[in-house]
């Protein structure tokens, strides 16, 4: 799964949804892979308002990528900034989480990621 | 100017919604002048020939689009119409190579008749070379015949249209994505043609984010990615995504079509306990914050060929050991969480609620649902105050049919708060699959009341 996906996912446990600690999930023992994907500036601009920037900064640091700026760029700034486009593209669209775990910062539940597919099914006592 | 769209005479109820969706995607102002489910010829009014070409280029159900030069109930009316409206255009085509052909729907002409009809257009005065292949301009006379006209001996069609060819649809795409040649499919994979139509109705396009919560082997995400969108998907059964973990996997399907770059992420999850980030519905949102998807496409399990289950224990009193056992075992990588049957109507409701919470303004939900053809057993189209129905298309089988329903997420300010208050959770209290699913019950009792 692309790193972008991590920005869309919280803990699946209903009682965790209210806690800000349940998002983003924290990668653990992560194995990353990199794909060659064609850069689509239109996609990144479209994504900008949907990305939770603070969560993305956390994820980026946790995966060992350079620190992102504190404030997200505006759509105009992003379009004009080739380096920013390239960096975001590499992080969100080209980097894949292949193996490891995603851990909820609130309840500590670990979701296994195998061959790029995370498993969010819950045992009955958490449903 | 008026343009003629030549549809294929199949999936009739899907054709106009598809073209209307394409007009939205391309931002083209289109007015339908004449259309009928019984005819493959549709007349629309468009701002330009360039717009007509653009409109049709990714249509699955339209074959071609033509600049309409004339039409009428008999040939002489067509000729006078052509003379009246297009004589100023003829000069442009004086010297280019050209081709004339006749396209008869439900009828036929002998070769001699065809030649004499084509020769009756001699007054156009085109002097360029005639080329049957690769001509610069192609002119077609369309004939709309009564059904069964040849055996009935009907001499002439009921209507004629004459037009200049502009462009073709994407009728080759269903062949490219054909299930017969796809590496990995399952019993309920959606056929390529209808998956592509679904992606068109949901406005899949470059730069957009689409999601399928019942992804299976990935038919819908593949169709969306084919149109340039980045596709996400999930399924309660991870095995369908993983396949055999070698060649036959969902990812392998994307690879087969060269779409790997547009595969966003796939994960195992249950829609009723979804990990997707959401914010509660409100009436004054900015239309963007907290909402992720441009489109949601899915074919939820009907509970007939594919069971309809969600996480949970069906009868905790009967099997009290299941929950404690799960508590003990759930960290085991091989642990499979228990699942229980779920109400089909509640599932439809969950899809609508989820879509209202995650679609951006004017984003679309397109999903398939089955219904009995008998009016008394018909399952009503589900509604939600945040979603406006755009189109309902029907594919009919013997005693049941399935519908492709498309909704538009309306902006918060347009939502009627009273409608939201009035909306009551319709959670069924049944336990068995039949009690929970009126369609399943009717299906297995052969739709007999």
For residues B104 and B102, what is the distance between their CA atoms, to the nearest angstrom? 6
Q: Please give the tally of structural domains in chain B.
A: 2
My answer on whether B196 and B222 are in the same domain is yes
Q: What is the ipTM of this complex?
A: 0.96
C-alpha closest to that of B290 among B278, B301, B302: B278
Q: What would the CATH number be for the domain defined by A3-126?
A: 2.20.25.10
For residues B189 and A110, what is the distance between their CA atoms, to the nearest angstrom? 31
Answer yes or no: do B326 and A11 touch at CB < 8 A: no
Q: Across chain B, what does the average pLDDT equal? A: 92
pLDDT at residue B282 in the model: 84
What is the average per-residue pLDDT within B255-269? Answer: 96
Residue B449 lies in a domain: no
For residues A43 and B49, what is the distance between their CA atoms, to the nearest angstrom? 29
Q: Does B264 touch chain A (CB under 8 A)?
A: yes
Q: What is the DSSP letter of A2?
A: B
What is the average per-residue pLDDT within B335-349? Answer: 88
pLDDT in tens, B224-250: 999 999 999 999 999 999 999 888 999
Residue B93: pLDDT band by 50, 70, 90 thresholds? very high
For residues B29 and B15, what is the distance between their CA atoms, to the nearest angstrom? 17
Smallest CA–CA distance from A119 into chain B, residue: B268
My answer on whether B96 and B200 are in the same domain is no
- The answer to which of A44-48, B181-185, B194-198, B330-334 has the lowest mean pLDDT is B330-334
Q: Across chain A, what does the average pLDDT equal? A: 95
My answer on whether B434 and B357 are in the same domain is yes
Of residues A111 and B285, more confidence is placed in: A111
pLDDT at residue B132 in the model: 93
pLDDT in tens, B272-303: 999 999 988 888 877 777 899 999 999 999 88
pLDDT in tens, B122-174: 999 999 999 999 999 999 999 999 999 989 999 999 999 999 999 999 999 99
Q: Could you say which of B111, B136, B171 is where a domain stops?
A: B171
Residue B432: pLDDT band by 50, 70, 90 thresholds? low
Contact in structure between A25 and A108 (CB atoms under 8 Å): no
Give the CA distances from residue A112 to residues A24, A27, B252, B334, in Å, rounded to whole numbers and listed in that order: 15, 10, 21, 11
Of residues B419 and B133, more confidence is placed in: B133
Residue B427: pLDDT band by 50, 70, 90 thresholds? very low
pLDDT at residue B428 in the model: 46
Of residues A84 and B444, more confidence is placed in: A84
CATH number, domain with residue B284:
3.40.50.150
Smallest CA–CA distance from A50 into chain B, residue: B292
Inform me whether the pLDDT recorded for B317 exceeds 70: yes
Smallest CA–CA distance from B244 into chain A, residue: A115
Q: Could you say which of B171, B205, B232 is where a domain stops?
A: B171
Answer yes or no: do B273 and A12 touch at CB < 8 A: yes
CATH number, domain with residue B7:
3.30.2130.30
Q: Does B338 touch chain A (CB under 8 A)?
A: yes
My answer on whether B167 and B190 are in the same domain is no
My answer on whether B133 and B181 are in the same domain is no
Contact in structure between B340 and B177 (CB atoms under 8 Å): no
My answer on whether B83 and B221 are in the same domain is no
pLDDT at residue B431 in the model: 59
Give the CA distances from residue B234 to residues A21, B34, B163, B270, B297, in Å, rounded to whole numbers and listed in that order: 23, 41, 46, 8, 12
My answer on whether B324 and B413 are in the same domain is yes
Residue B369 lies in a domain: yes
Instruction: Count A/B contacts: CB-CB distance under 8 Å.
Output: 131
Domain of B230 in residue numbering reads as 174-444
What are the chain A neighbours of B289 within 8 Å (beta carbons)? 49
pLDDT-above-90 percentage for chain B: 75
Q: In terms of DSSP bridges, do strands B293-298 and B209-212 run parallel, antiparallel, or are they unpaired?
A: parallel
My answer on whether B340 and B403 are in the same domain is yes
What are the chain A neighbours of B264 within 8 Å (beta carbons)? 1-2, 4-5
pLDDT in tens, B27-67: 999 999 999 999 999 999 999 999 999 999 999 999 999 99
Q: Could you say which of B148, B171, B194 is where a domain stops?
A: B171
My answer on whether B167 and B245 are in the same domain is no
pLDDT in tens, A2-60: 999 999 999 999 999 999 999 999 999 999 999 999 999 999 999 999 999 999 999 99
pLDDT at residue B378 in the model: 80
My answer on whether B111 and B208 are in the same domain is no
My answer on whether B135 and B236 are in the same domain is no
My answer on whether B237 and B160 are in the same domain is no
Best of A5, A14, A50, A51 to mutate (most B CBs within 10 Å, chain B): A50
Q: What is the DSSP letter of A71?
A: S
Answer yes or no: do A14 and B273 touch at CB < 8 A: yes
Q: Could you tell me the residue ranges of all domains in chain A?
A: 3-126
For residues B359 and B213, what is the distance between their CA atoms, to the nearest angstrom? 13
């Amino acid at each position: 799964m692309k790193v972008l996906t991590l920005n869309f996912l919280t803990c699946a446990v209903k009682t965790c949804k209210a806690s800000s600690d349940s998002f983003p999930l924290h990668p653990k023992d992560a194995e990353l892979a990199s794909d060659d994907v064609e850069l689509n500036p239109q996609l990144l601009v479209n994504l900008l308002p949907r990305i939770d920037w603070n969560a993305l900064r956390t994820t980026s640091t946790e995966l060992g990528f350079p620190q992102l700026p504190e404030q997200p760029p505006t759509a105009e700034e992003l379009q004009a900034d080739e380096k920013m486009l390239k960096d975001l593209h590499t992080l969100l669209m080209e980097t894949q989480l292949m193996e490891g775990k995603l851990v909820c910062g609130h309840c500590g539940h670990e979701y296994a990621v195998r061959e790029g597919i995370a498993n969010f099914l819950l045992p009955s006592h958490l449903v | 100017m008026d343009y003629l769209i030549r549809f294929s005479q199949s999936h009739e109820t899907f054709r106009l919604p598809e073209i209307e969706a394409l007009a939205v995607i391309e931002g083209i102002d289109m007015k339908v002048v004449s259309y009928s489910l019984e005819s493959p010829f549709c007349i629309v009014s468009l701002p330009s020939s360039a717009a007509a070409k653009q409109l049709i280029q990714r249509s699955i159900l339209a074959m071609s689009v033509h600049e309409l030069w004339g039409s009428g109930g008999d040939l002489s009316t067509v000729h006078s119409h052509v003379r009246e409206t297009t004589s100023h255009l003829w000069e442009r085509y004086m010297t280019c190579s050209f081709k004339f052909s006749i396209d008869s729907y439900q009828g036929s002409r002998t070769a001699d008749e065809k030649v004499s009809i084509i020769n009756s257009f001699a007054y156009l005065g085109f002097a360029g070379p005639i080329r049957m292949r690769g001509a610069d301009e192609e002119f077609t006379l369309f004939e709309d015949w009564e059904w069964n006209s040849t055996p009935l001996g009907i001499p002439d069609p009921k209507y004629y249209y004459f037009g200049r060819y502009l462009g073709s649809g994407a009728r080759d795409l269903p062949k490219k994505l054909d299930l017969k040649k796809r590496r990995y499919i399952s019993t309920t994979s959606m056929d390529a043609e209808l998956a592509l139509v679904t992606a068109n109705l949901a406005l899949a396009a470059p730069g957009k984010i689409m999601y399928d919560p019942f992804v299976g082997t990935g038919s819908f995400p593949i169709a969306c990615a084919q149109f340039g969108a980045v596709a996400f998907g999930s399924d309660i059964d991870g095995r369908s995504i993983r396949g055999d973990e070698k060649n036959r996997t969902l990812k392998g399907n994307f690879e087969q079509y060269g779409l790997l770059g547009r595969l966003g992420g796939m994960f195992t999850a249950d829609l009723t306990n979804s990990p997707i980030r959401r914010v509660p519905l409100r009436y004054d949102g900015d239309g963007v914050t907290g909402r992720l998807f441009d489109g949601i496409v899915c074919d939820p399990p009907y509970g007939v060929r594919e069971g309809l289950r969600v996480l949970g224990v069906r009868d905790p009193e009967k099997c009290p050991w299941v929950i404690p056992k799960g508590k003990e075992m759930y960290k085991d990588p091989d642990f499979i969480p228990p699942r229980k049957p779920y109400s089909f109507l509640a599932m439809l409701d969950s899809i609508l609620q989820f879509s209202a919470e995650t679609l951006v303004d004017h984003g679309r939900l397109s999903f398939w649902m089955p219904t009995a053809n008998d009016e008394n057993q018909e399952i009503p189209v589900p509604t939600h105050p945040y979603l406006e129905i755009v189109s309902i298309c029907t594919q009919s089988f013997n005693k049941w049919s399935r519908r492709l329903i498309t909704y538009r997420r309306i902006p918060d300010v347009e939502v009627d708060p009273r409608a939201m208050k009035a909306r009551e959770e319709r959670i069924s209290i049944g336990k068995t699959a039949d009690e929970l699913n009126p369609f399943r019950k009717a299906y297995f009792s052969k739709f007999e009341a």
